[in-house]
Structure formats: C-alpha cells, structure tokens
Structure 1
Amino acid sequence: MAKQERAARTRELLVHAAAEAFAREGFAPASLTTISKRAGVSNGALHFHFESKSTLARAVEEEAAEVIRQIARSDGRRSGALQRLVDATYYLMSRLDQDVVVRAGFRLSNCAALRDRSADLRGQWQHWIEQVLQEAEREGELAAGVPAADAATVVAAAMVGFEMLGAKDRDWISTGRLLPFWELMLPRLAAPGVLERVKPAGTPFSAQPPA
C-alpha cells in the first residue's frame, strides 16, 4: 500500500510540475528534464509513469477536464439555468486563477502538437454553455428575440477570450472581470421577470464545484 501511495504521489508531483512548465513556457519549449527536476524525481521515474511528453500533457488536460465535468454534473435543482451559468463562470474563472493544472490544461487546448488529444477543454466548456442556455430558452428565462444559440456564441467567445488573455496577464482571469461582463450581458439575455432573480455577482455556490 505504501508503494502504491508513493507511486500516486510521484505521479501527482509530475503532473503538477508539468502543468507549471506548460503554463509558463508552452508545450514545445518545456523539457522533460526540467519537469522531472521541478517534481524532484529522476528522469527514469518520469518515464515509468509517462512514456512521452505528449502523454504527460494529456494527463494534465484530463485533470483540468474534470473541472468541466464537475460543472456538467450539476443537477440544476438549486437555481435557474441562467444563475447556474453565471455561477459556473465564476467557479471556472477562480480555478483558472488558482489552479495551475487547470490553467495549463486550457493552454494545451491551443497546442498544434496535440491535435489528437482526448480532452478538448474549450469544446467541452462551449458544449456545456450551449446546453444550459438551451435549457434557459425552454424554461422561458431568455429575453424575447434572444436565441439560445446566439447567446451561447457570445458567452462562450467571451469566456474563452478571458482565458486566453489570462495566459499572458493573470488579471484577465480574476473573478473581478466577470461582474461588469454579466452586468452588461444579463439585461440583454434575461427575460424581465428572470433578470430580477439572477445575481450578476454570482451566489455562494459560485465558489464551489456544482452539486
């Protein structure tokens, strides 16, 4: 059991060290030697767990993708669709700001060398936004004349824009960026009766993974 725990700990150290390297330098410049040194393990230990830099990058992406899965598993009973959307953006933005694995996972989504990767984080995030806005449309939460598809395009593009700009300037992925965005967007998106209920600053749930 102790051996299994050590192996799991070594793998965790390597994934985190790789995420730091990928987030700081990008996939191509990051070296396995630098990653192993940052993790405090030998190159042999690295290759025992990961056969190549690509497989290590996919492990980083997979851990980051779990954040999107947490959002997608929300059962929707605690609030309406639009409030869940607002809360989810705050939750994801806080994770991008505070968790280098999530930050690196999204950065790897833009890497040409990993086109065959299994995790498309931006695509998963966009798909969830589309689903929740379709739900909002079905439930009558969207303003008249606002199609769910158009709303999803705008929201997804803005969120990906924040994330990509944040790769160079961390201020772009601070949650403070979201309040003015939602204060501008919600009056256009939400039906009048719904607008009164949706909190553009998020609810207490926005700091937690969705239930």
Structure 2
Amino acid sequence: MRQERAVHTRHRLVRAAAGEFARNGGAGTSLGRVCAAAEATMGALTFHFPTKQQLTDAVRKQGLDTTRAAARAAVRPGPRLQSVIDITHTAALLLQDNVVVRAANRLCQEGPDGRQEWYAAWLGIVRTLAEQAAKGGELNARTQPRQVVLLAACFVAGIETSAAAVAIGRGSTESSRRQLVQLWQTAIPSVAAAELCQALSPDSSVHGAGGGRCAADGHTPVT
C-alpha cells in the first residue's frame, strides 16, 4: 500500500508539474504551485524530486517517451506514406490533448537545442518511413525522402503555431485534425506516385474505410 501511494503521488506531481510547465515554462513555474496543484506537500515533492531540474527532466522524459510510443503505434501495414500522415495527426493530437507532451515540447523549446528534441522523437520514425516509401516507389520522381520529413515537420509546427494563436484569440478555431486534413489533401498529389494517390487518406481517423489503406505489404517494421 505504501508503495502504491508513493507511485500515485509521483504521478500526481508529474501531472501537476506538466500543467505548470506547459502554461508558464520552466523558469516561470514555482514548486509551490506544483504542490498546490498536486495536493501534495513540499516534503513529498522533494522526496520524489530533490531538485527542480529532476522534476523537469522527469516531465520531459515522460512526454518524449509518450510521443515516441504513440508515433510507433501509428505505423501500420500499408503504404509508408499513410503512416507518415497518421504520425502527423498523432503528434498534433498529443500536443492538443496530452499536457505532459505539451509540457515536454515547451521544455524542449527552452533547452539549448530549441524544439528539436521533441520533434526528433517522432521525425526519426518519419524519416525511416519516407526512405522506405522512396524504395517502394510510393514517391513521385520530383520528391525526395528529406522533403517528406520536412513537410511533416512543417505541418505539425504550423498546427502548433495555429493552436497557440487560437489560445490568445488571434487565430481560427478550426480543429487541428481538419487543418491537417486540408494540408495533406493539397500535399498528397504533390509528393505521392500517381497510382498511390487514391489509396491515401489525408484523414487518419478514416484511413481504414473504403479501401483507403493497402493490405500488408511486407515492409520492414519501424522501431
């Protein structure tokens, strides 16, 4: 029971810290507010995380691990380009709905490498998929794998910026999913081989319907 309580307290502290980091950044977050949000004492906080840096590292690591796991889970049998599309939807949805991921992204932006660490958590998988897509003839003659990676990164960064603009009342309230659908509707004919375009769905929530995904094709799994 004592161990279960300790695990539960640690989880509450990480979640509470993530909410503070996502709103206020690392420098703007006080440990007192974290304790209040977690309904925990300062003693409990320092028992689990003796320093603020250790708490920051725990939130960042959990957010990055969650992002990598979700990106890997989005890779399924079928065209590699479809999995690229699905991963961008996954990344955008995580930023929208998962406070720990949102906090990790902000903490990465504040770090020495800027936002690269969070993007690297899923873009490495996209890079492998894009290279597999090129070898499998899924890209048209004008498109290189690095361009697919850049496109995916730009789309998610654009959705992230749009969401931030909405939060301060300066942007459209159109959902991230719908914005990504529209972006991919434009991009698919520009990057995919002509014979594959009809098999790709710009919307990850419906890609299994109506033959939108091909059957398992023997591609090497992405890990």
Q: Same fold (TM over 0.5)?
A: yes
Q: Note if contact 1:107-1:167 (Cα within 8 Å) is conserved in structure 2.
A: no
Q: What SS is found at the alignment partner of 2:50?
A: coil
In structure 1, what is the Cα distance between the partners aligned to 2:75 and 2:99?
28
In structure 1, what is the Cα distance between the partners aligned to 2:98 and 2:198?
33
Q: Mean alpha-carbon deviation: is it higher for 22-31 or for 69-78?
A: 69-78
Aligned alpha-carbon RMSD (Å): 2.6
Shift of 1:177: 1.6
Are 2:150 and 1:130 aligned? no
Shift of 1:74: 4.5
Shift of 1:173: 6.8
Shift of 1:158: 2.5
Shift of 1:205: 7.3
Q: Note if contact 1:81-1:135 (Cα within 8 Å) is conserved in structure 2.
A: yes
Give the letter aligned to residue 44 of structure 1.
G
Q: What SS is found at the alignment partner of 1:73?
A: helix
Q: Note if contact 1:163-1:173 (Cα within 8 Å) is conserved in structure 2.
A: no
In structure 2, what is the Cα distance between the partners aligned to 1:178 and 1:34?
35
Identify the structure with bigger relative contact order (alpha carbons < 8 Å, sequence gap 6+). 1
Q: Note if contact 1:67-1:92 (Cα within 8 Å) is conserved in structure 2.
A: no
**Hey, what does 1:94 align to over in structure 2?**
93
Shift of 1:204: 5.0
Give the letter aligned to residue 147 of structure 2.
D
Q: Return the match for 1:149 from 130, 146, 151.
A: 146
Deviations 1:33-55 (A, max 9, x none): 11011100011110111122221
In structure 2, what is the Cα distance between the partners aligned to 1:56 and 1:103?
15
In structure 2, what is the Cα distance between the partners aligned to 1:3 and 1:107?
33
Q: Mean alpha-carbon deviation: is it higher for 158-167 or for 5-14?
A: 158-167
CA spacing shift, 1:32–1:75, aligned 2, 3 Å: closer
**Hey, what does 1:58 align to over in structure 2?**
57
Q: Note if contact 2:68-2:122 (Cα within 8 Å) is conserved in structure 1.
A: no
**Hey, what does 2:185 align to over in structure 1?**
183
Q: Note if contact 2:21-2:103 (Cα within 8 Å) is conserved in structure 1.
A: yes
Q: What SS is found at the alignment partner of 1:169?
A: helix
Shift of 1:67: 2.7
Give the letter aligned to residue 155 of structure 1.
A
Shift of 1:72: 4.9
Shift of 1:56: 1.1
Q: Mean alpha-carbon deviation: is it higher for 46-55 or for 89-98?
A: 89-98
* Superposition pairs of residues 7-156 of structure 1, within 5 angstroms: 7-74=6-73, 76-112=75-111, 115=112, 120-156=117-153
| Paired residue total | 204
Q: Note if contact 1:122-1:160 (Cα within 8 Å) is conserved in structure 2.
A: no
CA spacing shift, 1:162–1:76, aligned 2, 3 Å: closer
Q: Note if contact 1:143-1:190 (Cα within 8 Å) is conserved in structure 2.
A: yes
Shift of 1:73: 3.5
Give the letter aligned to residue 200 of structure 1.
P
Structure 1 gap segments, 5+ residues each:
none
**Hey, what does 2:212 align to over in structure 1?**
none
Structure 2 gap segments, 5+ residues each:
168-172, 209-221
Q: Note if contact 2:84-2:152 (Cα within 8 Å) is conserved in structure 1.
A: no
CA spacing shift, 1:164–1:128, aligned 2, 3 Å: farther
Give the letter aligned to residue 183 of structure 1.
Q
